[in-house]
Amino acid sequence: MSAKLKKSGRLWLVLIPYLLWIGVLFVIPHIKLFGLSFVDHRSGELTLGNYAKFFGSDLYRRVFWRTALYAIFTTILTLLIAFPTAFIITKILGKKMKAILLLSIVLPYWISELIRAFAWMVLMRETGVISYLLQAVGITSHNIEFLYRNGTIVIGLVYTSMLFMIIPIINSLDSLDDSLIEAAYDLGGNFWSTMREVIIPHAGPGIMVGSTMVFMLNLGNYVTVTLLGGKNSLWFTENIYNQFIVRFNQNQGAAFGVILLTFSVLLVWITLKITKQDMAEAM
């Protein structure tokens, strides 16, 4: 019995730093955020007015759904690019080329998101590299401004979140025995049937984890959206930023934050139920 108590004590000793980290940086701030969202900014009284302002405003609701749809679209686009890339890395390339390609994917993420967004601005601004190249090859005779467009925001978000989709899928595909793929071909399957019946189901947990991470990152993105899309990019995180920083209305900003967080959690939960994936097992 004493041995079990000692073992349990050591376990709690190891868990204390982790629990403190989660409590201080995640649980307590979210409880505070939730509490602020029910307090009136002027009177300090409990109220549902902060939420009523969102649901009663066509502008806020339109910006919110626009943000959600773009986050979903960029997640799907990221998956369509990341899955073939992960498959090529794990099942086609040799060890040396696999290491080189992985390094080329990971290396840009050693630089902060802010610097990477500025790099895209240099490429896509009216006097940037892409505009200059188009003129050099004769496609256009004048400068073209690629910034502050919806397409530019999508490109920036896909680039920013690509690593978080590729790595979980690579981890899933790495555990897939090549003999299973060969057996599928031996039983008369073609590339597409093998992909549909063997490869994609096996990579399902990685796809789910990557999609969840990318969706969350894109839904709550502020830096890339603001720099590439400008102040009129109509992203919901800008409304949250404006409430907290510009208008000094933490209560309204907290309500917007709770709405965004609740929506993202519900959507991920519904997706897990539909796809019958277990996030804990996948992680």
Query: What is the model's pLDDT at position 8?
Result: 63
Domain at 105, CATH number: 1.10.3720.10
> Does some domain include residue 236?
yes
> Does some domain include residue 11?
no
Give the residue-averaged pLDDT of 121-136: 87
Query: What is the model's pLDDT at position 44?
Result: 87
> Does some domain include residue 16?
no
> At 270, which amino acid appears?
I
> What pairs with residue 39 in β-bridges?
46
> Does some domain include residue 207?
yes
The residue among 277 and 242 whose pLDDT is bigger is 242
- How far is Cα 39 from Cα 58, in angstroms, rounded to an integer? 23
Note down the domain range covering 60: 50-282
Query: What is the model's pLDDT at position 190?
Result: 86
> Does some domain include residue 89?
yes
> Does some domain include residue 6?
no
> Does some domain include residue 13?
no
Tens of pLDDT, residue by residue over 107-116, are 888 888 888 8
In the chain, the number of structural domains is: 1
Q: How does residue 88 score in pLDDT terms, banded at 50, 70 and 90?
A: very high
- How far is Cα 201 from Cα 276, in angstroms, rounded to an integer? 11
User: Which residues have C-beta within 8 Å of that of residue 22, sequence separation ≥ 6?
Assistant: none
Q: How does residue 142 score in pLDDT terms, banded at 50, 70 and 90?
A: confident
Using alpha carbons only, what angle is made at residue 121 by residues 117 and 122, rounded to the nearest 5 degrees? 120
Contact 198, 180 (CB under 8 A): yes
> Does some domain include residue 1?
no
Question: pTM of the predicted model, to two decimals?
Answer: 0.88
Lowest model confidence (mean pLDDT) among 63-72, 91-100, 138-147 = 138-147
Q: How does residue 75 score in pLDDT terms, banded at 50, 70 and 90?
A: very high
Q: Which residue is it, tokens 């063997």?
A: 198
